[in-house]
Amino acid sequence: MRTQNSWLLLGLLSKLGSTTPVANSSLAKGATTFTNPILWEDYPDLDVFRVGDVFYYSSSTFAFSPGAPILKSYDLVNWTPVSHSVPTLNFGSKYNLNSATDRAYVKGIWASTLRHRASNDQFYWIGCVESSKTYVYTTGSSGAGKNSGEVSSWDWKQKATLNKCYYDCGMLFDDDDTIYVAYGNSKIMVAQLNADASAEVKSQQVYVDPAGAYIEGSRMYNINGTYYIFVTKPASAEWVLKSTSPWGPYEKKVLVDSISGPLPNAGYSHQGGIVNTKDNKWYYVAFLDSYPGGRIPVAAPLTWSPDGWPTLVKDGNAWGKTYPMPVQTTKTVPAPVGTDTFNGTALSNDWEWNHNPDTTKFKLLGGTAGLQLSTATVTTDLFTARNTLTHRILGPKSSGTFALDISAMADGDHAGAVLFRDVAAYIGIHKSSSSAHLVFVTNVTLNSNWATQSTGTVAATGPALSSGTTDVWLRVQADITPAFSGTAVQRTATFWYSVDGSRFVQLGNAFPMTNSYTFFTGYRFGVFNFATKALGGRVVVKSFSMQLV
């Protein structure tokens, strides 16, 4: 189990990198090199693999819902979210954010695993929740096997629950279709599952460090008949375990240990997994502790020795900032920036709710009419209010602007744009029967047990909006350049409003963000609407726009 003390120690062990920050990771078509990070967004605990022409990437999401997002890429560098493996967090009632004492902050989906199974063309996701149960989710026949990796239908369903924890697991569909799962912390275990992944056949310990190092984050591969388990020694190193049998014995070599780069003031690149291109060039994709922004993916090529050990291609002694482009292709994915008018039949995969939402309290209105958020909870506590909708922040600096129709807010309702994390702040509307007050609220804070410490302090007020006001634009602008180690600087966010959609006015002072890792998820943009008196009010989110600044 990952204790707070062990992570505190690991945090102290992290140290400063030495290269310069990257301003822009997006690439012109036909680029021959790429720049790390490959996607400057909080997608931690990654598992990466390829089906045909398409790379897939799975990530952890704690108590955000839907959980375990899946991203796709054609070149390993440009990524877009396309699905979530866990449509609803069916892990117990606290995942519905029932009350101030019945909620699941920092619980839920930790490091988990996603793979495509060639024999039945289904995707499988496996994850342990709260160190007790392991959940298996699968798609139907996806179409990917017959169409170069392109999925025609995801259709994720909960398939099985196992009454044991495959902590930080990594799945392998072996060449003979046997299912193995490597897992565990300190003691690395391998389990064999039955043919439909609904029960364990056998499990045994395969590796423990003779010197007693804490290791976790298993990823398992069979490459040319040799078995590999990649594990991390958090939060600084990645080890490779290699054997001729899935059951061991495994020999160990160090892939990376405390190498600097590619960004300064971040942690060390570690954990993650490996993947090859169609022409068999291998890459290691790790993540970098980049608080306040969370944990972001970085990639580097691997070479192999004749006896089957991988070596990371470095830039001097550091993780490189730029490397040759893994794949040249004309296929593209949408850029992470842009405007969402909520015009689909479902929310895009960029969005995740804080805990499972009350599905009776939100509605896509159709066309470009927007997303209606009715108040779902009577509370004074944003952390207890259901249906806060969140969106990852694009680094190094970006703004998120929500256009809101506030005309149907009710007396006592609080709605707005939040910079969401355990130390949060928001710009919003506090509605009374007579007026709508623009407020900037700071000190919205959870304590270290994730109980609400403070529901916030009004740090600034804007002009009272006239009763006829319908449209308000609320903007959060955040600098998530890493300030995790080697600096005392705290990055800041600023909060802005507009009543015409073009002239924005800053409200209050810049808000310093916490650089602590213990909440694990980095800061996010979010939009909320809760009642302090009675349900019945609503807002419409007409659009959301994220832009680099």
Ligand X SMILES: *[C@@H]1O[C@H](CO)[C@@H](O)[C@H](O)[C@H]1NC(C)=O
3-state secondary structure (DSSP) of residue 207: strand
Q: Which of residues 525-544 bind ligand X (CB under 6 A)?
A: none
Check whether the bond before 37 is cis (ω within 30° of 0).
yes
Q: Which residues contact 9 (CB under 8 A, 6 or more apart)?
A: none
Q: Which of 9, 118, 199, 304 binds ligand X (CB under 6 A)?
A: 304
Q: Which of 3, 5, 12, 28 binds ligand X (CB under 6 A)?
A: 28
461 binds ligand X (CB under 6 A): no
Q: Which is nearer to ligand X, 93 or 457 (CB)?
A: 457
Q: Is 96 helix (H, G, I), strand (E, B) or coil?
A: helix
**What is the phi-psi region of residue 122: left when phi exceeds 0, alpha when psi lies from -120 to 50, beta otherwise?**
beta
Least distance CB 486 / ligand X (angstroms): 26
Give the contact letters, 384-423, x = binds to ligand X (CB under 6 A), - = no.
----------------------------------------
- Over 329-395, what HEC string results? CCCCCCCCCEEECCCCCCCCCCEEEECCCCHHHEEECCCCCCEEEECCCECCCCCCCCCCEEEECCC
The interface mask with ligand X, positions 153-182, x = CB under 6 A, is ------------------------------
Choices 20-28, 257-265, 293-301, 513-521 (CB under 6 A): range interacting with ligand X: 20-28
Q: Which residue is nearest to ligand X (CB)?
A: 454
CA end-to-end distance (rounded Å), the chain:
39
Report in angstroms how near the CB of residue 370 gets to ligand X at its nearest. Answer: 12
Looking at beta carbons only, is 269 or 398 nearer to ligand X? Answer: 398
Stretch near ligand X under the rule CB under 6 A, chosen from 18-26, 381-389, 410-418, 528-536: 18-26
Q: How many helices (H) and strands (E) does the chain have?
A: 1, 39
Q: Is the dihedral of CA 121, 127, 133, 139 positive or negative?
A: negative
Burial of 481 from C-beta contacts in 10 A (0-12 / 13-18 / 19+): buried
Q: Which of 2, 15, 26, 536 binds ligand X (CB under 6 A)?
A: 26
> Shortest distance, CB of residue 530 to ligand X, whole angstroms?
19
Q: How far is the CB of 224 from ligand X (least distance, A)?
A: 4
- 457 touching ligand X, by CB under 6 A: yes
Nearest CB to ligand X, comparing residues 23 and 201:
23
Q: Does 453 bind ligand X (CB under 6 A)?
A: yes
Select from 454, 490, 506, 518 the one that contacts ligand X (CB under 6 A).
Answer: 454
Eight-class DSSP state of 94: G
* Nearer CB in complex with ligand X: 23/534: 23
Is there binding between residue 224 and ligand X (CB under 6 A)? yes
Nearer to ligand X by C-beta: 333 or 548? 548
Residues 31, 35, 36, 38: is their CA dihedral positive or negative? negative
Host H or E run for residue 206: strand 200-208
**Cβ distance to ligand X smaller for residue 11 or 37:** 37
CA pair distance 381, 548, nearest whole angstrom: 31
Segment 232 to 291, residues that bind ligand X, using CB under 6 A:
280
Q: How far is the CB of 311 from ligand X (least distance, A)?
A: 11
32 near ligand X, rule: CB under 6 A: no
> Residue 167: what residue type?
Y
- Cα–Cα distance, 113 to 355 (Å, whole number): 21
- The SS3 assignment for 499 reads coil
The minimum distance between CB 173 and ligand X, in angstroms, equals: 17
Interface map 305-344 toward ligand X (x if CB under 6 A) = ------------------------------------x-xx
Q: How do beta strands 237-243 and 226-233 pair?
A: antiparallel
Strand partners, 237: 233, 257
Residues 429 and 402 sit within 8 Å (Cβ to Cβ): no
Neighbours of 367 (CB within 10 A): 9
Binding part of the chain for ligand X, among 23-31, 325-333, 409-417, 424-432 by CB under 6 A, reads 23-31
In whole angstroms, the minimum distance from the beta carbon of 480 to ligand X comes to 14
Minimum distance of ligand X from residue 368's CB (angstroms): 7
- Centroid of chain to Cα 193: 27
The Cα 432–Cα 438 span in angstroms is 11
The one among 3, 5, 12, 24 contacting ligand X by CB under 6 A: 24
With a CB cutoff of 8 Å and minimum separation 6, the contacts of 359 are none
Q: Residue 395 corresponds to which amino acid? A: G
User: Quick one: which of 22, 208, 223, 364 contacts ligand X (CB under 6 A)?
Assistant: 223
Shortest Cβ 132–ligand X spacing (Å): 33
Alpha-carbon gap, residue 251 to 243, rounded angstroms: 7
Q: Which is nearer to ligand X, 15 or 50 (CB)?
A: 50
Q: Considering only 24-32, 112-120, 167-175, 313-321, which stretch makes contact with ligand X by CB under 6 A?
A: 24-32
3-state secondary structure of 340: strand
Q: Which stretch binds ligand X (CB under 6 A): 248-256, 452-460, 490-498, 531-539?
A: 452-460
Is 380 an interacting residue with respect to ligand X (CB under 6 A)?
no
CB of 225 to ligand X, least distance (A): 9
Phi then psi for 133, rounded to 5 degrees?
-115, 150
Q: Return the number of the residue (189 or 424) whose C-beta is nearest ligand X.
A: 424
C-alpha–C-alpha distance, residues 150 and 63, integer Å: 29
Greatest C-alpha distance within the chain: 77
Give the span between the Cα atoms of 111 and 159, in whole angstroms. Answer: 19
Residues binding ligand X: number (CB under 6 A): 16
Q: To the nearest whole angstrom, how small is the minimum distance from the Cβ of residue 442 to ligand X? A: 7
Of the candidate residues 380, 443, 469, 516, the single one contacting ligand X (CB under 6 A) = 443
Q: Half-sphere exposure of residue 5, counting CA atoms within 13 Å on the CB side?
A: 0
Interface contacts to ligand X, rule CB under 6 A: 23-24, 26, 28, 223-224, 280, 304, 341, 343-344, 443, 453-454, 457, 548
